[in-house]
Amino acid sequence: MEKIIVKDNIEGGKKAFELIKEGMRQETKVLGLATGSTPIALYKEMTESDLDFGHMTAINLDEYFGLSADNDQSYHYFMQEQLFSKKPFKETFIPDGLADEETEPARYDKIIDEHPIDIQILGIGTNGHIGFNEPGTSFDSTTRKVSLTESTIASNKRNFEKAEEVPRYAYSMGIKSILSAKEIILMVFGEEKAEAIKKTLEGPITTDVPGSVLQQHPNVVVIMDEAAAKLI
Ligand code: PGA
Give the Å distance between the CA of 38 and the centre of ligand 1.
6
> Which atom of ligand 1 is nearest the CA belonging to 34?
9
Q: Pick from 220, 129, 219: which is nearest to 175 by CA? A: 129
- Looking at residue 94, which CATH number applies to its domain? 3.40.50.1360
Beta-carbon count within 10 A of 7 CB: 10
Let me know if residue 231 belongs to a domain.
no
Q: Is 10 helix (H, G, I), strand (E, B) or coil?
A: helix
List the domain range (segments joined by +) for residue 30. Answer: 2-190+213-222
Sheet order of strands, 183-188 included: 2-6, 220-225, 183-188, 119-122, 30-33, 57-60, 91-93
Name the residue of 155, 172, 185, 225 whose CB sits within 8 Å of the most ligand 1 atoms, as the mutation to test its pocket.
Answer: 155
Let me know if residue 56 belongs to a domain.
yes
Split into its structural domains, the chain has a count of 1
Helical residues (DSSP H) of the chain, grouped into ranges: 9-25, 40-48, 75-79, 104-114, 150-156, 175-179, 194-202
Let me know if residue 228 belongs to a domain.
no
Is 102 catalytic? The answer is: no
pLDDT digits 0-9 by tens, 124-134: 999 999 999 99
Let me know if residue 197 belongs to a domain.
no
Give the Å distance between the CA of 57 and the centre of ligand 1.
22
> Which amino acid, residue 185?
I
The residue annotated as part of the active site, out of 134, 156, 183, 225, is 134
Let me know if residue 95 belongs to a domain.
yes
pLDDT digits 0-9 by tens, 149-202: 999 999 899 888 888 899 999 999 999 999 999 999 999 999 999 999 999 999
Pocket of ligand 1 (CB under 6 A): 36-38, 123-125
Let me know if residue 208 belongs to a domain.
no
Let me know if residue 32 belongs to a domain.
yes
Let me know if residue 108 belongs to a domain.
yes
pLDDT of the chain, 232 residues: tens digit per residue: 999 999 999 999 999 999 999 999 988 999 999 999 999 999 999 999 999 999 999 999 999 999 999 999 999 999 999 999 999 999 999 999 999 999 999 999 999 999 999 999 999 999 999 999 999 999 999 999 999 999 999 989 988 888 889 999 999 999 999 999 999 999 999 999 999 999 999 999 999 999 999 999 999 999 999 999 999 9
Q: CA 94 to CA 117: how far, in whole Å?
A: 14
Is 76 catalytic? The answer is: no
